[in-house]
Structure 1
Amino acid sequence: MAWSREQLQGALRQGALVFIPLGLAVLLLVFLVARRGEVARLDRELRQIQGQIRLSQQELTRVAPATPTEQESWEQSKGVVDDLLPRDPALPRLFEQLARVGSEVGVVGLAITASAPAATPFTVGAETLQTRAIPIRVSFRGSYMAAARFMGGLRQTRRFLTVDRLTIQREGPAMLAVELQLRVYSTGT
């Protein structure tokens, strides 16, 4: 039996319709088999990362919360910093403290004046606070010992302060004139 040209073309089309999808399926299977090693490697890496995450989460749950003693210590430390670097500059209170120190050590003619504050960055550990530096001028007269005690008494103010300038002039055999330029810091606006 001889096939006609149309019959031959029809048979080829039907065979192509069967063999093309079958060929694509074989190619896909070969591709997946070739990539199986890479998929397995990625699966192992994913499981390893998930295991590390689980271990990290377990470590986080093992950290004990702060004890009441630790919390109290932190609060006290925060209170000390708040005293040294208050939000409100509280200049009248500072002036009273300086006047008390002056009175205790025996200086005379104590004069205290403040100037306009300036914004200043202040670093505490790794943290930088935005602070205000308030320039204060303090002047008085007294003996050498009274002046030295006044300078030592600045610590009683319990404030962060810096001495920018100290001028001492002799005013007679037992009397000195002292002028201090201080900066007092606060975190207030």
Structure 2
Amino acid sequence: MSDAPPDPRQAYWNELTTCKIVACYVKRYRDRQMVWIRAIGIFKAIVTSGTIGAWAVWKEHAFLWGTLLAAAQVLDAAKEFMPQTKNIRNASDFVAALESILIDARFEWYEMFSGKYDADEIMARWRKLAKLLSETEGKYFPEGLPVDPKRQRLAEADADAYFKNVYGTGSDANG
């Protein structure tokens, strides 16, 4: 193990890529939460429209149709209290805030890569970026995000593709 301090530019690049990976992870998390909300909406639409027609045709199963209709109404009334609804809002707001931070970070990276900042200035900017990521995550996900190794791998691949597209190199390299 080396006692040498990290290369400031590499430390900043690593934090920049971490921010992008987190943004990709939360986008995928948000999209997964949306699947639940859509499924409930589809169930509700089918049940409310189909139940009335089925009730008219098969009156002997009125209890079944009434139960399904009641379930759809309960789901509709409870949707604002469902964790997925809150999670979608928080994830969307988090991603918007993080993407704004990333825009600034990318411009700072360009200036660093161009040699505008010395090592101390780069480390100060790295600290600021790391702190912004931590504060933003704490604001929108105070209990933290659920860990999902598959989602993590996909987010890393998303971020890697992004950095290859923007900088011509993957997220694990020094852009």
TM-score when scaled to structure 2?
Answer: 0.28
TM-score when scaled to structure 1?
Answer: 0.27
Q: Which has the higher contact order (CA 8 A, sep 6+)?
A: 2
